[in-house]
Amino acid sequence: MAFDAERYDREVIKPLRGRHGRLPAGDLAARYAVQPEWSPQQLVAHLAELRGFWRERATGPDSRAEVCRLLISADDKLRRETGDLMNDPTWWREQAGVTGDSPRSVPATPAPQQEEPVQPARSAGPPTSDWRVWSWRREAHDFIQARLDTPIGGDRRRQPAGGVDDRRHDRVGEADGGAPAQRRPGRAAQPGIAVGQADLTVGVLGGSGDRCRVRLSWPAAGGDRVRIRWAATPPPWRAGAVLPVSALSAFGAEVVGVRQERDGEVSVVAEVPVGYHLYVPFLVEGDQATVGRLVALGVAEPVRRLRAERRGDDAVLSWIWPAGARLALVEWTSPTGTERGQVSRAGYASANGFRIPAAADPCVVRVAILASVVADEVRSPVREVALPPRPVRVSYTLARHWRWHLGRREISVRLRAATDVTDLVVTVVLGAEPTMPPSPVAGTVLAEVVGVELHREQTRELTVVVPELPRLHHPYWIRCFVRGAVPIAVSVPPVESMRVS
């Protein structure tokens, strides 16, 4: 399983050259060069070696280094979202569409824990899980899937009113009247699992504020030996696993309520917070507990992909509305205190978002959803996003001089700012690529000046010496980068003035 750096550079990094800001969607297994048949120990060792390769290559001045820096940034984000799941070969098989013996998924979107036979690969092409295959069909699939709320190939049935999400799970409750959901035909409980594959049913009865009432029921055969626990993330055990009772406390909280038995069914009504939760039954016998099949229920789920961006003096919020939402409540801080607003779904669509006027100062914006659940109205969990300070606009121009008495060329960098700003770091970079350098590390630093002060509408001039350059078939680039304690927006001069031959 030796890591082939040359092959990885040729088949993964080279096709991504010229990408700046973010990476396109792609085959995750191919990007990490992961083989689905690896053991956990081989996978951990490979990921450590691959990340070391990225860090080593990210220090260079070329476009390959820029790709490695983007890979490191994307990897950090993925590790925060998935945790230790990246060290599990089963998780990688799921990302490639290969079903293993114990499928698990990312906590934010847990997949049903069911055992199904592996579908044979099509004869028209190689398996999609092979990292060596860079398929444009896979690229297109991931590109579209990243922009859809419902996964491609998933259950796209219409969700019931009230924010109850029954996708990708065997049984969930319905919001109209609290009636339990029906079992899907053709899925029998696995033998040997006391709490069967589809024995637990969850339905919503109503709610108030940020709490809702749910009804959980299961066959009376389990009796008082069944315990139900709930959490926002999937359990660390697969269905059918046997573990000590003392280990249950590591997963979520136990459902508390009055149990009733009627017509061969045990039920309990409990009050839980609104949102998306997973309910897992456990059959307790002595000091051992058998894990049952989890069931998911979403009630008044929060907004997703909440973002804030500046447009002039205003700020515009955008998000994805959950099912059953009719009104959004928005709260933000301002110099005069806390301000509140609201927007309907139709108003949001007509205005292309929610606009906060004259949002010059940094603040934290919070968004919650009002949703109807049965005959009640509940408020979703709050999601928040930080609005950074308004950037200070800095412009610069370049002027070339030939010092005959010194035998050298110089570049004059003249900087201006729209307002007073201090403690700036100005970096002048020479780029040798056909395109201008996108960042200071993508070229050769000619000069870096620390502690620069700019006053409103006053020009500050810096002189930079340009060394003798070998002749190329394309011109060099001179570009100036400015950073400071506050966000800086740099306006570049005319492109022709940035070229040096």
pLDDT per position as a tens digit, 274-294: 888 999 999 998 899 999 888
Please give the single-letter amino acid code of residue 443. Answer: G
**262 and 279 part of one domain:** yes
pLDDT at residue 343 greater than cutoff 90: yes
Phi/psi for 61 (5° steps) reads -95, 0
pLDDT at residue 196, as a whole number: 45
Distance between CA atoms of 469 and 433, rounded to whole angstroms?
Answer: 13
CATH number at residue 366: 2.60.40.10
Tens of pLDDT, residues 360-376:
778 889 999 988 888 88
Tens of pLDDT, residues 127-143:
333 333 344 445 445 54
Tens of pLDDT, residues 197-237:
347 888 889 888 889 999 998 888 767 789 999 998 889 99
**482 and 465 part of one domain:** yes
Share of the chain above pLDDT 70, in %: 75
Tens of pLDDT, residues 37-95:
888 888 888 888 888 888 888 876 667 777 888 888 888 888 888 877 888 888 888 77
pLDDT band at 299 (very low <50, low <70, confident <90, very high): confident
For residue 192, being part of any structural domain is answered with no
**396 and 380 part of one domain:** no
474: left (phi over 0), alpha (psi -120 to 50) or beta: beta
Torsion (CA) 318, 159, 83, 39 in degrees, nearest 10: -140
For residue 124, being part of any structural domain is answered with yes
For residue 430, being part of any structural domain is answered with yes
For tokens 């088949």, the residue is 11
Rounded alpha-carbon distances, angstroms, from residue 500 to 64, 168, 365, 440, 479: 23, 58, 46, 17, 11
Domain-terminating residue out of 145, 171, 189: 145
pLDDT at residue 57, as a whole number: 83
Domain containing 40 equals 5-145
pLDDT at residue 462 greater than cutoff 80: yes
For residue 176, being part of any structural domain is answered with no
**404 and 476 part of one domain:** yes
Domain-terminating residue out of 387, 408, 423: 387
pLDDT at residue 161, as a whole number: 38
More confident residue, 104 or 223: 223
Query: Which stretches of 232-322 are DSSP H helices?
Result: none
Tens of pLDDT, residues 366-416:
999 988 888 888 889 999 998 888 888 899 998 887 665 566 778 889 999
Domain-terminating residue out of 101, 118, 145: 145
Backbone CA torsion sign across 86, 89, 91, 92:
positive
More confident residue, 43 or 161: 43
pTM, rounded to two decimals = 0.47
**31 and 100 part of one domain:** yes
CATH number at residue 424: 2.60.40
For residue 422, being part of any structural domain is answered with yes
**109 and 133 part of one domain:** yes
**32 and 140 part of one domain:** yes
